[in-house]
Amino acid sequence: MTYGSRDQQFNRDNYNSRGGDFRGGRSSDRNSYGRDNRSGGGRGGFSRSFHTQPQELIAPNWDEELPNLPKFEKNFYVEHETVRNRSDAEVEAFRKENEMTIYGKDIPKPITTFDEAGFPDYVLSEVKAEGFEKPTGIQCQGWPMALSGRDMIGVAATGSGKTLSYCLPGIVHINAQPLLSPGDGPIVLVLAPTRELAVQIQKECSKFGKSSRIRNTCVYGGVPRGQQIRDLTRGAEIVIATPGRLIDMLEIGKTNLKRVTYLVLDEADRMLDMGFEPQIRKIVDQIRPDRQTLMWSATWPKEVQQLARDYLHDPIQVNVGSLELAASHNITQLVEVVSEMEKRDRLLKHLETASEDKDSKILIFASTKRTCDEITKYLRQDGWPALAIHGDKQQQERDWVLQEFRTGRSPIMVATDVAARGIDVKGINYVINYDMPGNIEDYVHRIGRTGRAGAKGTAVSFFTEANKGLGAQLIGIMREANQQIPPELMQYDRRPYGGHPRYGRGGRGGYGRGGRGGYGRGRGGFGGRGRDSGWGSRNGGNRSVNY
């Protein structure tokens, strides 16, 4: 990552930064957030005092503090003439075509091209350099919403382009704010559930922020804190963080949140599933309440709804796809009812099929770390180029495994659910659930690693008697996607006609837990069999790993 000052020749005619108000005697310097307070008494997220012992975070009294804080710009949206002239009927037809539902007042019309989004040239040039043809559905509606400065909620499938939906408006937001001074924390804060997702978000921020020389850093657990502390001390306009490690940094005074005016909660549903709600609330309480908050989620359960009610002010919302839990129609779902003893032989059968395509990437899910390692050892002993990733692996090894998998040098990765979200690897065309997950939501998220961005994929699941509690819901997911249901699975079809047995159908109003849908149909085939036609010799060219 590059550290350097941002270009001060930013076009302030279009994005006025109030620069003089911030660079002189700041009102924030006259309250308890002063960056020169090194006595250790200024506890909480806003003091720069470097404590030797963690200090409990105390939420500021915002009724008293907010009037003393400097104002900031957050509405940068200028509607393109083409968008302005688009009729209500055209807008409605576009939203219907993209399975888009909106909620709230005064929601801007969707855009249909990158040029209509109204991004400055320094942002558009980065986007066009990546070769994208057109925005995704969530970007078409999400960009105008985010650029308008409103609090917003975006509910869309994993892999639908949510990261760019908040990343690009965040870059515009940063460039309209005063430059960071020594001791300042970030302007944009992105909270993510896993280190893998945090790293992926950082890559996107680095890619599209380089022309503005915007600095970023990634803060997550499982690795030594030294480099992260150094990055925070140097200053970064964007911090992407997992909640636990960020609280650690705040409590020891290595950063502060007094400059945060653009807050993103990415995969909010997953963060709550992982038990991060107390940490999220602790962090958000440290941020000025007149910030812009953007919440992104793949599902819309009641816990996420409550978090939105507590921390978003008069939000506008866009849902892309059905709110009912659903799998992408681009994925061929194959479910085999087997015994535990049959799993390994069935696994080899499907690897034989997948290996016919030399470019195949196969992601295998196991329920425990031990099973994950056992499968990997078994496959490697049989000559298959497999590597494992799970929570007990050191971060350095996890990064290496991901890179081997991403580049195709090791086209088989065995994972626990740590990889179900946050790992964005292109070209995964086969997902195998060696062990079924504990709930139907994780099933949908797992198989969603394939069939992304319009591509075809195949998901194979080994269903045992121990999984019978998932049977009815699994059949429902397969029916919705027009999949062939094996007769052996039909004995578990005890669900009455209607909604999801746990969460209900939800409805277009956005209530009731749900997932994704709305993708084109299609079957992803792998042709005939033949171990020798795909990856060739399976015993050579792979780095040795001890298990």
What's the CATH number where 140 sits?
A: 3.40.50.300
Name the average pLDDT for the chain. 81
Q: Token pair of 92, please?
A: 């409605």
Q: Which of 20-29, 133-142, 238-247 has the lowest mean pLDDT?
A: 20-29
Q: State which of 291, 320, 349 marks the end of a domain.
A: 320
pLDDT bucket at 419, cuts 50 / 70 / 90:
low
- What integer is the mean pLDDT of 454-461? 91
297 and 336 assigned to the same domain? no
Question: Tokens 């503005």 — which residue?
Answer: 212
Report the range of poorest mean pLDDT among 55-59, 202-206, 258-262: 55-59
Q: How far, in whole angstroms, is CA 44 from its chain's centroid?
A: 28
pLDDT at residue number 380: 96
Same domain, yes or no, for 310 and 362? no
| 528 against 83, higher pLDDT | 83
Does 418 fall in a domain?
A: yes
Q: How many domains does the chain have?
A: 2
pLDDT, position 21: 34
Handedness of CA 535, 426, 271, 438 (dihedral sign): negative
For residue 5, is pLDDT > 90?
Answer: no
Regarding whether 464 and 359 lie in a shared domain, the answer is yes
Q: Is residue 516 part of a domain?
A: no
In the numeric block, the tokens 């040795």 are attached to 544
Q: Examine the pLDDT at 496 and tell me if it is beyond 70.
A: no
pLDDT band at 130 (very low <50, low <70, confident <90, very high): confident
Whether 439 contacts 470, CB under 8 Å: yes
Average the pLDDT over each of 44-48, 374-378, 504-508 and give the range with the smallest value: 504-508
Residue 412: φ, ψ to 5°: -120, 125
Same domain, 407 and 481: yes
Same domain assignment for residues 303 and 442: no
Higher pLDDT, 298 or 514: 298
Residue 277 is predicted with a pLDDT of: 93
Looking at residue 496, the DSSP 8-state letter turns out to be: P
pLDDT at 123: 86
| 260: helix, strand or coil | coil
The SS3 assignment for 238 reads strand
Among 268, 300, 320, identify where a domain stops.
320
What's 376-433 look like in SS3? HHHHHHCCCCEEEECCCCCHHHHHHHHHHHHHCCCCEEEECHHHCCCCCCCCEEEEEE
Look at residue 11 and tell me if it is in a domain. no
In the 8-state DSSP scheme, what is residue 263? E
CA quadruple 270, 273, 274, 280: dihedral sign: positive
| Closest by Cα among 497, 485, 509, 471 to 324 | 509
* CA 475 to each of CA 443, 472, 496, 513: distance values in angstroms, whole numbers, following the listed order: 12, 5, 12, 18
The pLDDT, as a whole number, for residue 52 is: 52
Sheet holding 361-365, edge to edge: 331-337, 457-463, 428-433, 361-365, 412-415, 386-389
Look at the block and give the residue holding tokens 């990055």.
Answer: 231
> How many Å apart are CA 300 and CA 323, to the nearest integer?
7
- Whether residue 282 is found in the same domain as residue 343: no
On the question of pLDDT at 394 being above 80, the answer is yes
User: Mean per-residue pLDDT for 279-287?
Assistant: 96
Whether residue 207 is found in the same domain as residue 251: yes
- Are 262 and 234 in contact by the 8 Å Cβ rule? The answer is no
User: Around 500, how many Cα atoms within 13 Å sit in the side-chain half-sphere?
Assistant: 24
Does residue 194 sit within a domain?
yes
Sign of CA dihedral 486, 489, 494, 496: negative
Is a pLDDT exceeding 60 seen at residue 521? no
- Structural contact between residues 100 and 319, judged by C-beta atoms closer than 8 angstroms: yes
Q: Per residue in 224-242, pLDDT tens?
A: 899 999 999 999 999 999 9
**What's the pLDDT band for 505 if we cut at 50, 70, 90?**
very low
Between 259 and 160, the more confident residue is 259
The answer to whether 408 and 429 have CB atoms below 8 angstroms apart is: no
Cβ neighbors of 316 (< 8 A, separation 6 or more) are: 102, 103, 104, 105, 106, 107, 145, 150, 151, 152, 153
Residue 31 CB neighbour total at 10 angstroms: 16
Same domain, 389 and 287: no
Residue 359 lies in a domain: yes
d(C-alpha 534, C-alpha 430), whole Å:
14
- 3-state SS of 133-149? CCCCHHHHHHHHHHHCC
Residue 109 shares a structural domain with residue 217: yes
Over range 523-528, report the average pLDDT: 35
336-375 pLDDT per residue, tens: 999 999 999 999 999 999 999 888 999 999 999 999 999 9
Distance CA 535, CA 85 (A): 54
The pLDDT-based confidence of 250 (bands split at 50, 70, 90) is very high
Provide the CA 256 distance to its chain's centre, in angstroms: 23
Beta pairing, strands 316-320 & 100-103: antiparallel
Return phi, psi of residue 375, to 5°. Answer: -60, -45
The C-alpha atoms of residue 146 and residue 167 are separated, in whole angstroms, by 10
| Range from 111-120, 150-159, 490-499 carrying the lowest mean pLDDT | 490-499
**345/252 same-domain check:** no
Query: According to the model, what pLDDT value does residue 234 have?
Result: 93
Better-predicted residue by pLDDT, 391 or 495: 391
| In-domain check, residue 458 | yes
Which range has the worst mean pLDDT, 25-29, 58-62, 402-406? 25-29
CA angle 384, 387, 390 (to 5 degrees): 145
Q: Is residue 468 part of a domain?
A: yes
Residue 512 within a domain: no
Q: Name which of 12-16, 61-65, 420-424 the model is least confident about.
A: 12-16
Longest dimension (CA), the chain: 74
CA nearest to 417, candidates 277, 528, 296, 270: 270
Read off the tokens for 277. Answer: 């709600």
Percent of the chain with pLDDT over 90: 56
243 three-class SS: helix
pLDDT in tens, 202-218: 999 998 888 888 999 99
Euclidean distance between CA atoms 239 and 250, whole angstroms: 13
Q: What is the pLDDT of residue 330?
A: 87
Question: In which domain, by residue range, is 478 found?
Answer: 331-492
Q: Are 431 and 447 in contact (CB under 8 A)?
A: yes
- Among residues of the chain, what percentage have pLDDT more than 70? 79
Residues 231 and 343 in one domain: no
Query: Is 153 within 8 Å of 315 (Cβ atoms)?
Result: yes
Confidence of residue 263 (pLDDT cuts 50, 70, 90): very high
Q: What is the pLDDT of residue 353?
A: 93
Same domain, residue pair 92 and 208: yes
The answer to whether the predicted template modeling score (pTM) of the entire model surpasses 0.85 is: no
Residue 38 confidence (pLDDT) above 50: no
Interaxial angle between packed helices 369-381 and 343-354, expressed in degrees from 0 to 180 and rounded to the nearest 10: 60
Q: Which of these, 451, 421, 444, lies nearest to 520 by C-alpha position?
A: 451
Please give the torsion angle defined by the CA atoms of residues 233, 237, 241 and 244, in that order, rounded to the nearest 10 degrees: 50
Domain-terminating residue out of 295, 320, 345? 320
- The DSSP symbol for 489 reads H
Lookup result for tokens 């059949």: 475
